[in-house]
């Protein structure tokens, strides 16, 4: 198990709403200066656009932003834009799938879409959604976060007083977008979070018995290639690494709650009971909290 360490470069990021403001200022030949939601200063002058530490030609930026706005206008979740080496870029990746770092409302934190599937939610601020998953996290505990995604749940654990979080993410593209996302950068700057780029199916075998107080299991939706993340074998490992009285939260979600005629919540709860867990709390359409006997 190799823990990742990063030298973080703060890449300026702007939203769809920032892009609209910039276009209006350039088109009207108005100077503009403000700080956006992520803390980056945006300055528009006659021939120049400054975003954070990056300086761009205003005319070239306008061409990019107009095409971007035209593509994203009808999208519910709108891609973010980053600026690297003087170039505007959408925060999307087409490599082994299509990844999109995007935002539903300007005041909400970004979410992630992979192949059109939302990894958080489109219905509320993803950071607020993450708070529901750490309901029983207490001060001073150790947490295993099995599917890190953008790191929001791990960060919320620290906000609630967790002493340490081991966060596991198998997908390098997700980690790359997390490094761009200004909100996710928090997880790379905290010494109390370790991030491992690997599958929890492999990492779990290296962890000591009774070494965690809380397990957060937020797997991708159940499909033919993700079944092992819903298996009794993995649940046995969760039981092993948890201390007596430790808590497991298993996210199931509402969308796709049935797979091939199976009730996912019912199946997950039964298998967790079979390996020794007791039900602590069930939130229909969201997930189940279990406790180790």
For residue range 65-77, what is the model confidence (pLDDT) as tens digits? 999 999 999 999 9
* pLDDT number for residue 256: 46
Say what the pTM is: 0.90
Residue 88 has pLDDT above 60, yes or no: yes
Where are the domain boundaries for CATH 3.40.50.150 in the chain?
Answer: 121-292
254 pLDDT more than 80? no
How confident is the model at residue 210, as a pLDDT?
Answer: 97
Q: How many CB atoms lie within 10 A of CB 267?
A: 14
Averaged pLDDT score across all residues of the chain? 91
Rg from Cα positions in the chain:
21
Q: Residue 175 pLDDT more than 60?
A: yes
> Comparing C-alpha atoms, which of 158, 174, 237, 167 is closest to residue 204?
237
pLDDT at 253: 79
Q: What is the mean pLDDT of residues 102-131?
A: 91
Range 121-292 has CATH code 3.30.1340.30: no
Q: Is 280 exposed, middle or buried (0-12, 13-18, 19+ CB in 10 A)?
A: middle
What pLDDT, on a 0 to 100 scale, did the predictor assign at position 8? 64
Which one is predicted more confidently, 118 or 250?
A: 250
Higher model confidence: residue 166 or residue 8? 166
Query: Does residue 37 carry a pLDDT above 70?
Result: yes
pLDDT exceeds cutoff 80 at 1: no
- Give 221's pLDDT tier (boundaries 50, 70, 90): confident
Average pLDDT score over residue span 226-243 = 94
* Average pLDDT of span 3-32: 88
Of residues 77 and 188, more confidence is placed in 77
């Amino acid at each position: 198990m190799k823990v990742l360490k990063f030298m973080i470069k703060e890449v300026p990021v702007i939203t769809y709403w920032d892009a609209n403001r910039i276009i209006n200022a350039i088109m009207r030949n108005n100077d503009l200066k403000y700080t956006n939601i992520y803390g980056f200063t945006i300055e528009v002058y006659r021939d120049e656009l400054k975003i954070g530490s990056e300086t761009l030609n205003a005319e070239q930026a306008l061409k990019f932003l107009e095409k971007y706005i035209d593509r994203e206008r009808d999208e519910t979740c709108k891609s973010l834009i980053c600026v690297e080496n003087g170039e505007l870029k959408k925060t999307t990746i087409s490599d082994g799938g299509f990844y999109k770092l995007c935002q539903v409302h300007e005041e909400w934190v970004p979410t992630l879409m992979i192949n059109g599937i939302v990894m958080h939610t489109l219905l509320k601020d993803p950071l607020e959604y993450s708070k529901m998953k750490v309901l029983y996290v207490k001060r001073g505990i150790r947490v295993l976060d099995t599917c890190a995604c953008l790191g929001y749940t791990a960060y919320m654990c620290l906000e609630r007083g967790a002493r340490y979080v081991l966060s596991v993410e198998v997908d390098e593209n997700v980690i790359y977008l997390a490094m761009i996302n200004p909100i996710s950068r928090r997880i790379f700057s905290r010494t109390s979070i370790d991030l491992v780029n690997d599958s929890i199916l492999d990492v779990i075998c290296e962890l000591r018995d009774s070494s965690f107080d809380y397990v957060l299991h937020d797997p991708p939706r159940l499909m033919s290639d993700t079944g092992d993340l819903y298996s009794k074998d993995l649940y046995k490992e969760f039981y092993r690494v948890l201390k007596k009285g430790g808590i497991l939260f298993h996210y199931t979600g509402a969308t796709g709650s049935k797979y091939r005629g199976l009730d996912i919540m019912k199946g997950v709860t039964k298998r967790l009971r079979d390996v020794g867990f007791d039900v602590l709390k069930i939130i229909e359409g969201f997930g189940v909290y279990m406790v180790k006997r």
